[in-house]
Structure 1
Amino acid sequence: MKALIETIVTPLVDYPEDIVVKETEEETKVIYHLTVNENDVGKVIGKNGRIAKAIRTVVYAAKSDVNKRIYLDIM
């Protein structure tokens, strides 16, 4: 899943080397923390959050564990 997030975000940013995806797994959910360069945050979020919503939609659709919810935090 981390590789999927990195693959989606890399073409959007100017500083792909600053992309960091951390995974936190809990009993009922998995949280992915996406961190990008501060100059690229707007590009990843997009106008009115459209790009962030699209990224989340793809990540939620690709989830492998049916019993856990997936969350994506963009920082």
Structure 2
Amino acid sequence: MKQLIETIVKPLVDHPEDVHVNVVEEDYRVTYQLSVNKNDMGKVIGKQGRVAKAIRTVVYAAGTSQQKKIYLEINE
């Protein structure tokens, strides 16, 4: 899943070397914390959050096979 997120986000940004995904696993949930360069934040979120929503949709769909709830947080 971490690879999937990086594969989606890196072509969108100007500084792909600053894209990092941290994984926080708990009992019933997995949180993926995506951090990007401050200048690329607008590109990852998109107009009215459309790009972020699309990324989350793909990640949630890919994670339906797991028994845990999946969350994606976008951080600076």
* Both proteins in one fold, TM over 0.5: yes
Q: Unpaired segments of 5 or more residues in structure 1?
A: none
In the TM superposition, what are the counterparts of 1:1-75 in structure 2 within 5 Å? Answer: 1-63=1-63, 64-65=65-66, 67-75=67-75
What TM-score, normalized to structure 2? 0.95
What TM-score, normalized to structure 1? 0.97
* SS of equivalent residue, structure 2 residue 31: strand
Deviations 1:31-73, CA, capped at 9 Å, x for gaps:
00000000000000000000000000000000131x2100000
Percent identity (aligned): 68
Q: How many residues align?
A: 74
Of Structure 1 and Structure 2, which has the larger fraction of its residues in helix?
A: 2
The AA in structure 2 aligned to 1:29 is R
Q: Unpaired segments of 5 or more residues in structure 2?
A: none
Q: After TM superposition, where is structure 1 displaced by more than 4 Å over at least 4 residues in a row?
A: none
